[in-house]
Chain A
């Protein structure tokens, strides 16, 4: 039930993933999270330029079941948001690690990455939640 967990990503306990490329990173929600949320009908995204600390709420994802906050895996500044989700929020369900990304950021403090789970740790974490 833990879904697809790509090996090159890091994960949070609140089910966000982060893909790091140099000082830039892309953030979204895991396959497990989209599965739990069920059909996603609305995504609220932050403004480009907004600065957040690790753990801050930067957006909201709303499904037919519930509305959930999105939390920053690490501190950073928003450099891009996935505007396509405005019209097609269901992309998060169909392609959570690809076209369903939420925001891109520049990292404020790359050392925070060390505190996140890798794919293996996240898989184990999800097993414990079952």
Chain B
């Protein structure tokens, strides 16, 4: 089943709404803004509804089925989060409203900053970063500002293990540092000898993901932190995998200086097409003055026990500045606030425990059928290899595509890069055992098919609206199908009008 583009449904003169009579004085638009054509589809309301309902049924989402996309923490997004975000007082709040008229929103942000600091054992937090990578960028700018503030200008390098998230080296480069890649040892941990050699007075800090992208808890963590601190560097924790550690380990308490969160992973705000990200950044006392701002703060203490304090915007003393227009992705902030408030400390700890339990259960069920490169207790996710010596020609991609035939979302494939034919599986805590067992059954069936009838895998998927796409063509030939964007630069009249 395919669905045409909405532009292909268009018929000249057709209209979906009846506009009311004009009841205000008519004012002409500026000359430079006028045009004769308007490239919008002309369709009726029922066509629009059917078009988008059909598309939504072709889509795959966490509300439809299991989504073990490693590294992405595709947990179920509770509907109560959506209720909270749609409360009229929050959904209708203008971002430029006066502080005294946004006390509720400011109070939520203030408390969320405090909770996020507490969960990871830090002193403070800014909710500004719009996603994980911007959180990384913010953390790195703070590390940079910290060293420069001390008058230390030779620290230009950031160390990154080769099991890091791909965004880490990109953020390092964006922040003006040089990324130095560290090898992993045979167990998938940081190679301590290589770290020792790399540590000198040009090291600004180290970025590390815990658990790593292999799903492994770094066993050398105390030594790693000590080595980096000893040479004067700061420790950045990529908190993308915090779903494995809430209530179990506080990075701030074991020596990390800064970390970001992904609210859209750990704290159940929608992502993967469902909403923007949010990457708050939490820091210890050292970096507190450098937080991106303004952040929510108490500007006047409460006058009595039953009174609320006055909240307002506060700029940290040596702030690296503003990272985002307005106040971060506020809709995500409300959802994460709701999620934390509902779960409480005990609930969040249970979230992490079940996330780790589910991953280890899947690993235990799959290890006889698939190669596990680093077979030990995993965190909230693990990596297997999607190939067999006695099934030549079958690759991880074929397994992923075949999973779609069974109505399941594939795991992350070909990441991390250090594992050949990697399939990275993260079940999350929200899946019941029945779902996990069904997934194991399918994975074993596919392994059998790979040996007995590999063509089934090569030609998969068979039941999806679109079969196997030509990825080479898709990557090389960027064909956009909508009408070209008008060349606004030619409309000089407008510029003159505004000047």
Contact = CB atoms under 8 A, between A and B. Distances in A.
Nearest to B415: A66
B475 A42 contact: yes
Interface in B450-499: 471-472, 475-476
B471 A64 contact: yes
B161 to A, nearest CB: 15
Contacts of B321: none
Contacts of B397: 65
A31 interface: no
B277 to A, nearest CB: 21
B170 to A, nearest CB: 10
A37 to B, nearest CB: 10
B417 A41 contact: no
A42 B476 CA distance: 8
Interface in A38-73: 39, 41-42, 62, 64-66, 68
Interface residues of A, number: 11
Contacts of A89: 476
B414 interface: yes
Contacts of A68: 417
B420 interface: yes
Nearest to B477: A41
Contacts of A4: none
A23 interface: no
A65 B472 contact: no
B475 A64 contact: yes
A39 B417 contact: no
Contacts of B417: 66, 68
Contacts of B475: 41-42, 62, 64
A41 B471 CA distance: 9
A36 interface: yes
Given A41-B476, A66-B414, A36 B420 contact: yes
A68 B397 CA distance: 18
Contacts of A42: 475-476
User: Which residue, of B413, B471, B476, has the highest number of chain A Cβ atoms within 10 A?
Assistant: B476
Contacts of B471: 39, 64
Contacts of A90: 472
A36 B387 CA distance: 13
Interface string B376-413: 00000000000000000000010000000000000001
A42 B397 CA distance: 20
User: Which residue, of B397, B413, B414, has the highest number of chain A Cβ atoms within 10 A?
Assistant: B414
Contacts of B472: 39, 41, 64, 90
Interface in B399-443: 413-415, 417, 420
Given A64-B472, A66-B415, 4 more contacts: A42-B476, A65-B413, A65-B414, A68-B417
Interface of B: 397, 413-415, 417, 420, 471-472, 475-476
21 contacts: A36-B420, A39-B471, A39-B472, A41-B472, A41-B475, A41-B476, A42-B475, A42-B476, A62-B475, A64-B471, A64-B472, A64-B475, A65-B397, A65-B413, A65-B414, A66-B414, A66-B415, A66-B417, A68-B417, A89-B476, A90-B472
Nearest 7 interchain pairs by C-beta: A41-B475, A64-B471, A65-B414, A39-B472, A41-B476, A66-B414, A66-B417
